[in-house]
Chain A
Amino acid sequence: MASTQDLQAQKKREVESKEEATIPARVFLPNADIYETPTELNVVLEMPGIEKSKVDIRVENDVLHVEGRIDLSKYTGLHPLYAEYNVGHYARSFQLSSKIDQNKIAAEMNEGVLSLTLPKIEEAKPRTIQIR
Chain B
Amino acid sequence: MATDFADPFDALFNLQRAVDSRIASDWLQDQTAAQGPFPPINVFQQGEDILAIIELPGVDKNDLQIQAKENTIRISGKKGAKLPEDVSIHRRERVFGEFDRTLSLPVQIDPDGIKAEYRDGILALFLPRAERDKPRTIKING
The CA of A120 and the CA of B7, in the complex, are separated in Å by 46
Contact between chains at A48 and B42 (CB < 8 Å)? no
Q: Collect the chain A residues with CB atoms within 8 Å of residue B3's CB.
A: 78-80
CB atoms of B12 and A78 under 8 A apart: no
A48 to B94, CA, bound (A): 12
Bits for B77-102, please: 1 = Cβ < 8 Å to A, else 0. Answer: 01111011011111111111111000
Q: Is the interface of A mostly helix, strand, loop or mixed?
A: loop
Does B2 sit at the interface, judged by CB under 8 A? yes
| 8 Å CB contact of A84 from B13, B23, B94 | B23
**Contact partner of A32 among B11, B79, B81, B94, CB < 8 A?**
B94
Inter-subunit contact B22/A46 (CB<8 Å): no
Q: How far is the CA of A37 from the CA of B44 in the complex (A)?
A: 43
Q: Are A86 and B16 in contact (CB under 8 A)?
A: yes
Q: Which residues of A contact B1 (CB under 8 A)?
A: 79
* Beta-carbon contact of A36 and B87 below 8 Å: yes
Task: Name A's B-contacting residues (CB within 8 A).
Answer: 1-11, 23-26, 31-37, 42, 44, 46-51, 70, 72, 75-89, 110-113
**Residues in chain B within 8 A of chain A (CB atoms):** 1-3, 5, 8-13, 15-16, 18-23, 25, 27-28, 32, 35-47, 50-51, 55-60, 78-81, 83-84, 86-99, 118, 120-122
